[in-house]
Amino acid sequence: MKFVIQRVTHASVRVDSEVIGTIEKGFLVLIGISQTDNRETADSLVKKMTGLRIFEDENGKTNLSLKDVDGSLLLISQFTLYANCKKGNRPSFIEAGEPKMAEELYEYIIAECKKQVPNVQRGSFGADMKVELCNDGPFTIILES
């Protein structure tokens, strides 16, 4: 499992020109799920992500968590995080999770995040999405299982 976490001042996602999720200060998280991932993997990464202290405190130190700043989450599934480009020019996605399993885990991740963060927005699994964001910093962290 991979989480690409971007600290943002705002972010949104559109499907068919309609905004389906939008946040202000918080994390835009691109979520890649592999064939071998499970709920335990998700629990570990959700715990780590929600505890990350990457917002600045009054002294300019990255010492505050999402909860400390009343931040929000925008969670976007992105199987292309498992692109393998080692051979040729066309990526292979054989390491990405099978869609039914990946969608179930994506929904599980959303539900677990909602237990910890008051405002959790989401993309649409498998849809053609347009994601907009203002990366704050820029600050991007990759968590991998």
Question: Which residues are tagged catalytic?
Answer: 78-80
Q: Which residue segments constitute the domains of the chain, with CATH numbers given?
A: 1-142 (3.50.80.10)
Helix (H) or strand (E) holding 106: helix 99-114
Distance CA 7, CA 71 (A): 10
Q: Is the peptide bond before 91 cis (omega within 30 degrees of 0)?
A: no
Q: How far is CA 111 from the centre of its chain?
A: 13
**pLDDT of 9-64, one tens digit each?**
999 999 999 999 999 999 999 999 999 999 999 999 999 999 999 999 999 999 99
**Position of tokens 């990255």?**
62
Residues in the chain: 145
pTM for this entry: 0.95
Angle between helix 39-51 and 99-114 (nearest 10): 40
**pLDDT of 111-130, one tens digit each?**
999 999 999 999 999 999 99
